[in-house]
Amino acid sequence: MIKIGNAPCSWGVEFADDPRNPSWRKVLEENANAGYTGIELGPVGFMPEDPNILSEALDEFSQELVGGVVFRAFHDPNKWEDVLDGAQRTCKALKAHGAQHLVLIDSISERRAPTAGRASEAEQMDKQNGQHIAIESLQLHVLALKIWTHSWHTRSCCWLHGF
């Protein structure tokens, strides 16, 4: 059977601390009202990290936490501690709620953001540079997959932007 759920990004939630975000409870309520029974965690810190608080709300709205996303700067070696922090906090929440799906997404870099969605206007990488960045990013993702899948018992996948 295929289960279809939703995610807070459908409400425009990309970053946990964005003041334009709807409340996490509103997202759960509207997700339920739309007929979904599954929800993804969204950016770490958007939903409560206290498992008791989130469990009560999931039950209240007849929702099941089905997965989580780590949307961090995998492409930037200087941000690796932030990547690991986001991954560990996300995996902790997934484990607490029995969810097993972890999606790793490399955040959009400052260099790529101004032309996102407009490939003809974007800065183009030469083949050698592009391959080098893609290989480094994949190596980080593979390392992350090995660590998190083993230690947190999650099913992980990668979503690579711009390669």
The yes-or-no verdict on residue 110 having pLDDT over 70 is yes
The pLDDT of 109-121, averaged and rounded, is 76
Please determine, for residue 1, whether its predicted confidence score (pLDDT) is greater than 50.
yes
Which pLDDT value is given to residue 13? 95
Q: What is the DSSP string of the chain?
A: -----B-GGGGT--STT-TTPPPHHHHHHHHHHTT--EEE--STTSS-SSHHHHHHHHHHTT-EEEEEEEEE-TT-GGGHHHHHHHHHHHHHHHHHTT--EEEEEEPPPTTTGGGTT-TTTSPPPPHHHHHHHHHHHHHHHHHHHHHHHHHH--EEEEE-S--
pLDDT of residue 116: 72
Q: How confident is the model at residue 103 (pLDDT cuts 50, 70, 90)?
A: confident
pLDDT (average), residues 83-92: 88
Task: Inform me whether the pLDDT recorded for 162 exceeds 60.
Answer: no
pTM of the complete model: 0.77
State the pLDDT at residue 163: 42
Determine the average pLDDT of the residues in 49-71: 95
Split at pLDDT 50, 70, 90, the class of 57 is: very high
Task: Give 142-156 pLDDT, tens digit per residue.
Answer: 566 556 556 656 666
Q: Which domains does the chain have, with CATH numbers?
A: 8-110+123-159 (3.20.20.150)
pLDDT at 51: 97
For the cut 70, the answer to whether the pLDDT of residue 135 exceeds it is no
Q: Is the pLDDT of residue 76 over 90?
A: no
